[in-house]
Structure 1
Amino acid sequence: MIYCDYAATAPMSDIALEVYQEIAKNFYGNASSLHDAGGKAKNILEQSRAIIAKIFLAKPRQIVFTSGGTESNLLAIDTLMRASDIKGKKHIISSEAEHSSIYYYLKTLAKNEEIEVTFLPIHPNGQINSKELIDAIQPNTCLVSIQHVNSETGSIQPIKTISNYLKHTKIYFHSDAVQSFGKIDISSILSYVDCITVSSHKVSGPKGVGAIYFDSKVILSPHPVMTNHEHGLRPGTVDVPAIAAFSAAAVQACNQVIENSKHLSYIREVFIKKLKEHDIPLQPLTSSDQCPSIVGCIANNIQGDYAMLSYNRYGIHISTGSACSLGYAEIPRSIFPFISNKEEGKRYIRFSFSHLTTEQDILTIIEVSIKIFNPIKEERIHNEKKINWQGTS
């Protein structure tokens, strides 16, 4: 098996599994309980919080644990709106390529007339336009939420540039870094955002855990619905073993991020080079700034789901889009700037790699790609010759 769907999820690392088992077995108390077992679990929780905080060059109180990337995004937006001192109906700026957890949440809030939302378009370079962002700002704008890396195209948004336009305003800046955390170095954007959201299972931690980093200037006021966990921001018993395993996986991923990023860049380069060398009809989507772990492609004359199933028969696991959106069977919004029509969108597939992906894996994928696409190419050439022959008879 060759796994190429790391943008959807990653297998748990050995260290994460070891930590999870150790904590689940020996520190099983409820971290909110006042007895010794609860106190020991609480200590593990706070140690884990301090570990994640160190990654973000922050203090432990700036880290909030959640159930994953989706809750992190929703809770971040909700908390930042409450922290804003803008009165009356608030306005949020986001993009059309955001993860479904943000895009549809904002759509719902706007539909219910709770807020106003401006969704900025993505341009053929894979990024938003800074001038359009400036033009969208209103007196009641309280928040800009722009993802760091897109999960379908790998496009990296200009976080620093966006921040420069917001630094003299009272507008909070949130970035969904679920796809970039542990894949590329995010330290360069820490000073430019007020809030970052991440997810455990993308960095080889357990599923069902995420985290939010809030800048120290953000007031973390408790949720109006009386909740008693994580600064009063969310309900539910905290999963201490999973959080401890997440912190271990995150440290491992972030400590190796520079080395892994170089490896991913090399793997991506080899993959795209081999596609061209063998004339495989897969057109990679490229952006002005690109995360190397993701290679979205448009196939020629073959539906994306058919291509995915064809690779699957050879034991190669790829995707046709974000795992959180597949149930809707829709073309990813983020790829529209790269295609001419919806038919091309239906031919989209995604390869996503990790530090575990080897050069030999890439060569095997190329061999399988030739087997999949050569019969299609031969059939197309045959049909073209047949049409030409009929036209000259």
Structure 2
Amino acid sequence: MSAVVAYLDVAATTRVDPRVANVVLHWMTEEFGNAGSRTHEYGAQAKRAVQQARSFIASTVNAKTEEVIFTSGATESNNIALLGLAPYGEKTGRKHIITSAIEHKAVIEPLTHLRDNRGFDVDFLTPASSGRISAQAVLEKLRPDTLAVSLMHVNNETGVIQPVAELAEKLRATPTYLHVDAAQGYGKVPGDLAAPIDLISISGHKIGAPKGIGALVTRRRGWDKIPLEPIMFGGGQERKLRPGTLAVPLIVGLHEAAKIFRDSHDRWERDARAMRERILQALGTTRFRLNGDPTHSVPHILNVSFDQLNAEALIVRLKDQIAIATGSACTSASYTPSHVLQAMGLDSDTAANGLRLSWFPSQVQDFDPTPIAQTIASMQPADNGA
């Protein structure tokens, strides 16, 4: 791949930080023990490393060490949280769940399964045109039989931050559990996740860790555990909620990536905002629409639609200069209008042609958006003032 291609798709995945890669390799080739092996030092070392990682990840969201279980990523965490709560809902007659129409498919599809196959009533709330769900809109939908609310932290297509901390404080006094898919927000907006959220899904590969590792935070309410039941069986690891041999190298990699991101967060945020301003300034020479509320957004994600330009044609035209996407990597092969932009009330043409630009500033330090903007402007038909 050409070295001149600027990678602007970190919302899909990030490059593994070289420091993280070195740690992962060490735990693959040197200290390679199974954390479940009790009879030798290799296993004891692995177990200590996992416990240190668990404790650190817990500290980043103001949770207890024992409240963190390791998974393969946010998709698995979402499934354990939502499908794992379902039996409790069925036993107690609480089969109502509130979510939003802008969730990732990793939340929408498990909830659709519960609705279509297990008789759950699921409310999919639509956001304002800003892309934000109001906490009040969620609270107005609460019923005596509401088992859970599932609301993402940061939208993966627009970068809009949802009011999960506000909602957590208000739901804590109710029997309704709050699940937050924090795949895009973990590490970036850390204060929100310190709120009393019951269930938090984390993905490592959004912050420089390898793909295939994540976590689920299951925060107690006082002495009461979240009443989750496993959706897989065999071995009893991770408090029987996620059985299977622990991926020690990946867990240690997540630990290292989370430490690096925490320590560099202030600089990351400052530089990401500066890059955002440079991109928007350059795009001022084009006719574009910014999709999503800029006052409630993470600094490193932009979603834009360009007047009279097809997004796929634009991606092809720019593929030798920048790597960008139309939206979620999980659904990008379908070439259908974004369900997120449609839920925001945007017209079908805008929803079908939204482009997502997302970056880590340290990886695109020399990126100049001006030539990209010039190419886009040259592709747009002349504005006749109509």
TM-score (norm: length of structure 2): 0.91
Q: Secondary structure at the match of 1:143?
A: strand
Whether 2:20 is the aligned partner of 1:6: answer: no
What's the offset of the Cα at 1:78? Answer: 2.9
Matched, 1:323 2:357: no
SS in 1 for 2:292: coil
Q: Is the 8 A contact 2:199 2:219 kept in 1?
A: yes
Which residue among 185, 191, 200 is the counterpart of 1:196?
200
1:15 to 19, 31, 35: 19
Contact 2:325 2:357 in 1 (8 A): yes
| Cα shift at 1:41 | 1.9
TM-aligned CA deviation for residue 108 of structure 1: 1.5
TM-superposed deviation, 1:89: 4.7
Indicate whether 1:170 and 2:153 are aligned: no
The residue that corresponds to 1:247 in the other structure is: 255
Structure 1: distance between partners of 2:194 and 2:86: 20
Number of residue pairs the alignment of both structures matches: 376
Same amino acid, percent of matched pairs: 28
Distance 1:222 1:158, change over 3 A: closer
How far, CA to CA, are the matches of 2:264 and 2:18 in structure 1?
15
CA positional deviation for 1:371: 2.1
Distance 1:230 1:121, change over 3 A: same
Deviation at 1:143, TM superposition (A): 0.6
Matched, 1:296 2:303: yes
Distance of 1:129 and 1:57 partners within structure 2:
24
- In structure 2, the partner of 1:215 is 219
Q: Which amino acid aligns with 1:94?
A: T
Whether contact under 8 Å (2:89, 2:95) holds in the other structure is no
Residues 307 and 380 in structure 2, CA contact (< 8 A), matched pair in contact too: no
Q: Which amino acid aligns with 1:14?
A: P
The verdict on how the C-alpha distance between 1:359 and 1:282 changes in structure 2, with shifts beyond 3 A counting, is farther
Q: State the match for 1:93 in structure 2.
A: 98
Aligned to 1:391: none
Q: Alignment partner of 1:192: what SS?
A: coil
SS in 2 for 1:231: helix
In the TM superposition, what is the alpha-carbon distance from 1:183 to its structure 2 partner? Answer: 2.3
Question: Once the 2 structures are TM-superposed, how far is the Cα of residue 65 of structure 1 from its aligned partner?
Answer: 0.3
Alignment partner, residue 35 of structure 2 = 31
Structure 1 CA distance, aligned partners of 2:150 and 2:261? 25
Which amino acid in 1 is paired with 2:132?
A: Q
AA matched with 1:274: A
Deviation string 1:82-123 (CA, Å, 9 cap, x unpaired) is 566971251110000001100111011101134211111111
* 1:38 partner letter: G
Query: Partner of 2:159 in structure 1?
Result: 154
The CA distance in 2 between the partners of 1:160 and 1:54, in whole Å, is 17
- SS of structure 1 residue aligned to 2:362: coil
Counterpart selection for 1:373 from 367, 373, 377: 377
Partners of 2:64 and 2:344 in 1: how far apart?
A: 41
The 5-angstrom pairing of residues 1-393 of structure 1 reads 1-36=5-40, 37-82=42-87, 87-184=92-189, 186-217=190-221, 218-219=225-226, 223=230, 226-227=233-234, 228-276=236-284, 279-287=285-293, 288-314=295-321, 316-336=322-342, 338=344, 340-358=346-364, 360-361=366-367, 363=368, 365-377=369-381, 380=382
Q: Does structure 2 retain, via aligned residues, the 8 Å contact 1:83–1:219?
A: no
- What amino acid sits opposite 1:230 in the alignment? E
The whole-number CA distance in structure 2 between the counterparts of 1:191 and 1:338 is 27
Greater C-alpha radius of gyration: 1
The C-alpha deviation readout for 1:180-238, integer Å capped at 9, x for no partner, is 11223x22442231121111110000100001112132346552754311110022221
Q: 1:115 to 1:303 in 2, by over 3 A?
A: same
Deviations 1:259-285 (A, max 9, x none): 211221121122112211xx2133222
Decide whether aligned partners of structure 1 residues 150 and 66 sit closer, same or farther in structure 2, where only a CA change above 3 A counts: same
Q: How much is the aligned-residue C-alpha RMSD, in angstroms?
A: 2.3
Amino acid corresponding to residue 153 of structure 1 in structure 2: T
Q: Determine helix, strand or coil for the equivalent of 1:247.
A: helix
Other structure's SS at 2:380 match: helix
Q: By how many angstroms is 1:163 displaced?
A: 2.6
User: Matched residues in 2 for 1:329 and 1:80: separation?
Assistant: 33
The aligned amino acid for 2:247 is: D
Deviation of 1:81 after TM superposition, in Å, equals 4.1
